[in-house]
Amino acid sequence: MGVWFQKPTVEQLNRFSKNTLMEHLNIEYTEIGEDYIRATMPVDARTHQPMGILHGGASVALAESLGSVAATLCVDVREKYCVGVEINANHLRQVHSGKVTGTARPVHLGNRIQVWEIQITDDSHRLVCVSRITLMVMDR
């Protein structure tokens, strides 16, 4: 059984990202499974730091985008909304080019707090970053 209260299509999620940071970084949602959501992000001039490798902040932007959207899909948005209260990231491997793929899975889905883990991998499926985001579920 899935974790989603609502399950939009990948196309709907990508339309929702128009005119946002996600569009600027070319983050594209690619898959919604029963208990995960996945997106890709290019590693290029938009996401590099001055040394020509993936900027840690870009990885965190991908992680937060995935975690926030995933959390929102788990609540009735007519009654609730989710806000991030903490995020951390461990950067494990450099990436110079290609793309990275982030996959968010729930750690805890409570009535007031959600915790999601996001694993980011490179084109060779090697772990690049592990992030965890905590979100508070708020009443509208």
CATH of the domain at 35: 3.10.129.10
Tell me what the mean pLDDT of segment 37-50 comes to. 97
101 found inside a domain: yes
26 found inside a domain: yes
Pick the catalytic residue: 23, 64, 86, 117?
64
Q: What is the pLDDT of residue 134?
A: 98
Question: Which domain range does residue 20 map to?
Answer: 10-139
Which residue is associated with the tokens 């996001």? 118
* Alpha-carbon gap, residue 88 to 107, rounded angstroms: 14
52 found inside a domain: yes
Q: How confident is the model at residue 25 (pLDDT cuts 50, 70, 90)?
A: very high
Entry pTM: 0.96
2 found inside a domain: no
93 found inside a domain: yes
Instruction: Using the predicted structure, report yes or no on whether residue 1 has a pLDDT greater than 80.
Output: no
3 found inside a domain: no
Give catalytic status of residue 64 as yes or no: yes
113 found inside a domain: yes
The fraction of the chain above a pLDDT of 70, given in percent, is 99
* Burial profile 69-89: b = 16 or more Cβ within 10 angstroms, e = fewer: bbbbbbbeeeebbbeeeebeb
**What's the structural domain count of the chain?**
1
64-116: pLDDT as tens digits: 999 999 999 999 999 999 999 999 999 999 999 999 999 999 999 999 999 99
4 found inside a domain: no
Q: What is the pLDDT of residue 119?
A: 99
